[in-house]
Amino acid sequence: MNHGLLVALLLAVAPAFAAELASGDEWNSQQSSLEGLYAGIGGGGNLLIVPGDNSFGYDAELRLGYSFNPVLAIYLSGSVDGARLSGRTFRSGQIVAFVQYHLLVKPAVMVYGRGGIGVGLSRDVVPDATAAGLAEAGGLGVEIRVAPNLFLAPELFYRNASLSTRGIDQQVHTVGLQLALLYY
């Protein structure tokens, strides 16, 4: 299955759903407008998959960008995923530009989908070399309001990177569950 096509399809369809759901009168002026600076930090567990091996590991992510309205946010994300594969530590990182759409906007809870494209990096593909390549990522999550501008967000995510260095190519897939703290 072509993951890029799936991400593009989700991004194309999401605005129509989000606009319909966000048009309700449930949002009032005393709550955060969800407009302006968007920042987040998160971490969790993952299943890191490379050809011939996979293992459970960890993930961490930082986000910084801009939220245009209660429906749409655009931001840069820096993430790292790691696990022990075949007795050695394997880490990969991604720097990805994301588009995030809220599929459901309510005062206390919101549901979102996000997708992005960027660059993947790892120093663990070949010793003493940095592998780089195209990276794609996406996720589905729920934002739970804990303060006027602060949300707790559990998310199911997927990341893919096609890394290459010194004639060696490696696919890295990551599926995981993350808990993030988000500020609007």
Please give the full DSSP string across 68-119, using - where no structure is assigned.
-SSSEEEEEEEEEEEEEETTEEEEEEEEEEEEEEEEEE-SSEEEEEEEEEEE
Separation between Cα atoms, residue 67 and residue 78, nearest integer Å: 18
What is the chain's mean pLDDT, rounded?
A: 89
Largest alpha-carbon pair distance within the chain? Answer: 57
pTM metric for this prediction: 0.81
pLDDT tens-place string over residues 44-86: 999 999 999 999 999 999 999 999 999 999 999 999 999 999 8
- Report all structural domains of the chain as residue ranges with CATH numbers, in order of start: 3-22+31-183 (2.40.160.20)
- Tell me the percentage of the chain whose pLDDT exceeds 70: 83
Confidence of residue 33 (pLDDT cuts 50, 70, 90): confident
More confident residue, 22 or 173: 173
Separation between Cα atoms, residue 157 and residue 40, nearest integer Å: 15
Helix spans in the chain (H): 3-22
At residue 124's C-alpha, the angle toward residues 132 and 134, to 5°, is 20
Confidence of residue 134 (pLDDT cuts 50, 70, 90): very high
More confident residue, 54 or 16: 54
Separation between Cα atoms, residue 56 and residue 155, nearest integer Å: 17
